[in-house]
A and B are shown apart, each in its own frame.
Chain A
């Protein structure tokens, strides 16, 4: 690992309106993102060499091999089509698959699409088939797994419960404020710290306003080689570095408070991007945060603050909109979780930030952005760094 191959640019992004979308069929929904990305990039399907698609396991929405169901909506007919899936990190995995394709020189322009229609199935039932039924039959539900990680982290670093609670509430307030700035976000509501801290317990320490929604939505991104990008796009964003790491199967085999696959993925991406002090050098971060406490853990494992100290940094406002490194100005996963698209939305928002196209969500003068996603119970972590300069 280390060398990036050919330079790769982001030349367009497109998203649907996220939320409960039973107004349209699943292929209709995907088509909405495809239309948006071509409009944004100002090119047509004729310019595209290959397509990458991903979602949660097909059984999530009841149609197996759903890239076949989507083939027309993806405009994939007669083109090379790859499917990649890694659960929650699918959106990052499909982006990296597309980036590999361009970086290798095998394609000049690749269309990458992630989608989910969570309301069409029982997401938690599908997720209960992620652990095996022989040795982990009672391990189920994303909130349970992720809350167990959060409690482990609090216990390992002996973090005061009230302090962690306050920091997680700040994350929720900041994200919900971000969601209000994001016209495509699923959840658009104002919440207060007190409301978050007193909400109903879902899976302790997680309460209702610490939890993401189940969203329908799709995201599409066009990646291009340097030559094509310079010809087509006035202001491309550039892939500066990327990392992906897997993890052991059994959750108890390693410590989740010091989450090695997150740390490894981030360090690899930083090395490629030439980043040595991420909190100082990054201008904005889109961190995978289906649960507020998760974001606190990831801030640490992504190297944005010292281990065990995320609550202090959050309470000090370091990661708030006016802080040193604003996190999730889009509202993050906490306001929109169409899972197969989620990791790709992080990357799309990073690209929009560094090209000054983020509208009301814009972090002033952002030039370097982090995008991240996690998948499985905990098995996959991916980081992609996007910058304004090649």
Chain B
């Protein structure tokens, strides 16, 4: 196909695009709760479910979720993984890391909301011994909270 013996070139390029994403009243209040180290869920008056992150409306009933409920900061592990590769936004010094989905007491959903910590999570054998589906964890907040998803520093294993 290429009779000219030229190695086909590639063009290297980077795009940077800024955004400004509206958080709406429900997520705004949810993160105001974080500023007081509280986890606030919303309750649906149709199906009775309490969901986090807080929702403006129930995904199943389509009704507004206007009742706020403070939920426990402890819960049960639904699933976890041990991430041992880097990808966009995750640098070599950040891995291995252990993301977790937790079902907090008083809620009706799992919440993929952060990483397990509080011990040497880079040690896989230790992680696989300590972290269990069905095991119990609790939120450990950062000292300085800013009202965003990074305010929970990590989830700590409790017996």
Q: Residues of A with Cβ closer than 8 Å to B?
A: 22-24, 59, 62, 120, 122, 124-125, 128, 132-141, 143-144, 147-149, 151-152, 154-156, 200-206, 248-253, 256
Cβ distance A139 to chain B, nearest Cβ, rounded Å: 6
The answer on a CB contact under 8 Å between A124 and B87 is: yes
Closest to B102 in A: A252
5 A-B pairs (CB sep. < 8 Å): A135-B27, A140-B88, A140-B89, A154-B133, A203-B83
The answer on a CB contact under 8 Å between B15 and A151 is: no
Q: Residues of B with Cβ closer than 8 Å to A?
A: 2, 8, 10, 13, 15, 19, 21, 23, 27, 30, 51, 53, 59-60, 78-85, 87-90, 96, 99, 101, 103, 109-112, 114-115, 124, 127-128, 132-134, 148-150
Residues of B within 8 Å of A154, CB to CB, are 133
A59 to B103 alpha-carbon distance, docked (Å):
34
Closest to B60 in A: A248
Contact of A151 among B13, B81, B84 (CB under 8 A): B81
The answer on a CB contact under 8 Å between A143 and B110 is: no
Known: A133-B19, A144-B81. 6 other contacts (CB 8 A): A147-B81, A151-B133, A152-B79, A203-B84, A252-B111, A253-B51
Closest to B124 in A: A201
Closest to B24 in A: A134
Residues of B within 8 Å of A139, CB to CB, are 99, 112
A124 to B60 alpha-carbon distance, docked (Å):
30
A365 to B28 alpha-carbon distance, docked (Å):
60
Residues of B within 8 Å of A133, CB to CB, are 19, 21
In the complex where A23-B8, A140-B89, A149-B79 touch, is A201 in contact with B109 (Cβ < 8 A)?
Answer: no
Residues of B within 8 Å of A250, CB to CB, are 51, 53, 59, 109
A133 to B30 alpha-carbon distance, docked (Å):
15
Residues of A within 8 Å of B114, CB to CB, are 138
A33 to B109 alpha-carbon distance, docked (Å):
44
A149 to B83 alpha-carbon distance, docked (Å):
14
Report, nearest first, the 8 A-B pairs whose CB atoms are least far apart.
Answer: A155-B133, A252-B110, A125-B88, A152-B79, A204-B82, A124-B87, A147-B81, A135-B53
The answer on a CB contact under 8 Å between B23 and A148 is: no
A143 to B83 alpha-carbon distance, docked (Å):
9
The answer on a CB contact under 8 Å between A201 and B27 is: no
A62 to B2 alpha-carbon distance, docked (Å):
25
Q: In the complex, how many residue pairs between chain A and chain B have their CB atoms under 8 Å apart?
A: 123
Contact of B85 among A143, A249, A252 (CB under 8 A): A143
Residues of A within 8 Å of B19, CB to CB, are 133
The answer on a CB contact under 8 Å between A148 and B99 is: yes
Cβ distance A147 to chain B, nearest Cβ, rounded Å: 4
The answer on a CB contact under 8 Å between A252 and B78 is: yes
A156 to B133 alpha-carbon distance, docked (Å):
8
A204 to B99 alpha-carbon distance, docked (Å):
11
A252 to B81 alpha-carbon distance, docked (Å):
15
Cβ distance A163 to chain B, nearest Cβ, rounded Å: 16
Cβ distance A130 to chain B, nearest Cβ, rounded Å: 12
Closest to A205 in B: B81
In the complex where A137-B149, A152-B78, A155-B134 touch, is A128 in contact with B89 (Cβ < 8 A)?
Answer: yes
The answer on a CB contact under 8 Å between B8 and A24 is: yes
The answer on a CB contact under 8 Å between A141 and B79 is: no
The answer on a CB contact under 8 Å between A22 and B8 is: yes
The answer on a CB contact under 8 Å between B101 and A202 is: no
Cβ distance B57 to chain A, nearest Cβ, rounded Å: 12
Residues of B within 8 Å of A125, CB to CB, are 87-89
Cβ distance B62 to chain A, nearest Cβ, rounded Å: 12
The answer on a CB contact under 8 Å between B101 and A134 is: no
Cβ distance A308 to chain B, nearest Cβ, rounded Å: 14
Cβ distance A385 to chain B, nearest Cβ, rounded Å: 29
The answer on a CB contact under 8 Å between A138 and B99 is: yes
The answer on a CB contact under 8 Å between B149 and A22 is: no
Between A22, A135, A148, A201, the greatest number of chain B beta carbons within 10 A of the residue's beta carbon is seen for A135
Residues of A within 8 Å of B110, CB to CB, are 251-253
The answer on a CB contact under 8 Å between B81 and A200 is: no
Between B8, B21, B27, B115, the greatest number of chain A beta carbons within 10 A of the residue's beta carbon is seen for B8
Closest to A64 in B: B15
The answer on a CB contact under 8 Å between B21 and A132 is: yes
The answer on a CB contact under 8 Å between A62 and B13 is: yes
The answer on a CB contact under 8 Å between A204 and B128 is: yes
Closest to B80 in A: A151
Residues of B within 8 Å of A122, CB to CB, are 88
A206 to B84 alpha-carbon distance, docked (Å):
10
Residues of B within 8 Å of A59, CB to CB, are 15
The answer on a CB contact under 8 Å between B59 and A141 is: no
A218 to B25 alpha-carbon distance, docked (Å):
44
The answer on a CB contact under 8 Å between A22 and B10 is: yes
A388 to B57 alpha-carbon distance, docked (Å):
47
Cβ distance A198 to chain B, nearest Cβ, rounded Å: 13
The answer on a CB contact under 8 Å between A252 and B88 is: no
The answer on a CB contact under 8 Å between A249 and B59 is: yes
The answer on a CB contact under 8 Å between B99 and A128 is: no
